[in-house]
Amino acid sequence: MDTKDILKKVRKIEIKTKRLSNDIFGGEYHSSFKGRGMTFSEVRQYQFGDDVRTIDWNVTARYNEPYVKVFEEERELTMLLMVDVSGSEFFGTSNQFKKDTITEIAATLAFSATQNNDKVGLVLFSDDIELYIPPKKGKSHVLRIIRELIEFKPKSKKTNISVALKFLSSVLKKRAIVFMLSDFMDDDYEKTAKIAAKKHDLTGIRVYDKHDEEIPNLGMVPMLDSETGAIQYVNTSSRTTRNNYKANAIRLTDYYTNTFQRSGAGTINTRVDESYVKKLLGYFKHKER
């Protein structure tokens, strides 16, 4: 894809997702994620009903009458998008690849944060950290993030959720809003998920294809493992083969759901042929309660 085509695609995604973030998600995002701390605002004279713990004793001693410190909620937030760029994201049998849906969701979330004057950062991961863009403000920064989501070519096709979560815990010292977008075809990340969710407001967004969960009866077919590159002939006519495939998909999905929920993190599941708009809106509304 040359530069002209990339810019066209960036513009197309910008138009679609910015409209969504402006018209739909802006208010929901603002309501769902409150400021994470309190910052000092001013000192004023003590009034009846003020908490005595807020008295500024230095100023009180200077003026010989009680003064209190006034704090206000720190409204500015930091959002970090953690995006799985492993080989399995380049799969889709319906409208588009999982990667395309993930890019649209990430762009929508990024524009929603920008509308709220918050910082946005990006982590692209496989079984290693492929790219890290530190959080910053501004439209041009968001457009850079979208461009990377479209054109970035990972070095590895494998997945390691735990590696990504460990990086999250080490790179951001202050609490942030974190969305991890993946098909979550991995396990053994419960410990790192608990650590990350304790420190940050973590949400997993599982984007999947219907054939990630079950395969149709098509006879003997060649199948490519998108994460290893190996081609293997599979007898899809076998009920045992189809049942084993489905059972493994259910195992990984249940592991993701249970791990994130036990860790105190949020979960969203959206299929590539479904409306992710409804899923995100439903999640934001639920967080407001």
Question: What's the structural domain count of the chain?
Answer: 2
- If asked whether residues 20 and 70 sit together in one domain, one would say no
- If asked whether residues 155 and 50 sit together in one domain, one would say no
Q: Which domain does 59 fall in, by range?
A: 37-74
- Beta-carbon contacts of 217 under 8 Å, excluding residues fewer than 6 positions away, are 236, 237, 242
- If asked whether residues 25 and 150 sit together in one domain, one would say yes
271 lies in some domain: yes
Q: Check pLDDT > 80 for residue 133.
A: yes
- If asked whether residues 57 and 86 sit together in one domain, one would say no
- If asked whether residues 114 and 172 sit together in one domain, one would say yes
217 lies in some domain: no
Q: What is the mean pLDDT of residues 185-207?
A: 95
pLDDT tens-digit series, residues 137-170: 988 999 999 999 988 999 999 999 999 999 999 9
pLDDT tens-digit series, residues 56-74: 999 899 899 999 887 654 5
Give the relative orientation of helices 98-115 and 276-288 as an angle to the nearest 10 degrees.
40
236 lies in some domain: no
Q: What is the mean pLDDT of residues 50-54?
A: 84
140 lies in some domain: yes
- If asked whether residues 68 and 140 sit together in one domain, one would say no
- Beta-carbon contacts of 55 under 8 Å, excluding residues fewer than 6 positions away, are 46, 66, 67, 68, 69
199 lies in some domain: yes
In which band, very low, low, confident or very high, does the pLDDT at 6 lie, cut at 50, 70 and 90? Answer: low
Enter the pTM of the model: 0.79
Mean pLDDT of the chain: 85
- If asked whether residues 132 and 259 sit together in one domain, one would say yes
Locus of tokens 């259910």: 250
- If asked whether residues 152 and 271 sit together in one domain, one would say yes
CA 70 to chain centre: 34
Q: Check pLDDT > 60 for residue 108.
A: yes
Q: Report how far residue 228's alpha carbon sits from residue 159's, in angstroms, rounded to the nearest whole number.
A: 10
Q: What is the mean pLDDT of residues 69-92?
A: 77
Could you give phi then psi for residue 124, rounded to 5 degrees? Answer: -105, 130
223 lies in some domain: no
- If asked whether residues 117 and 65 sit together in one domain, one would say no
Handedness of CA 124, 166, 179, 30 (dihedral sign): negative
> What are 9-17's contacts with CB under 8 Å, separation 24+?
9/150, 10/143, 10/146, 10/147, 10/150, 13/103, 13/104, 13/107, 13/146, 13/150, 14/107, 14/111, 14/143, 14/146, 16/104, 17/104, 17/107, 17/108, 17/111
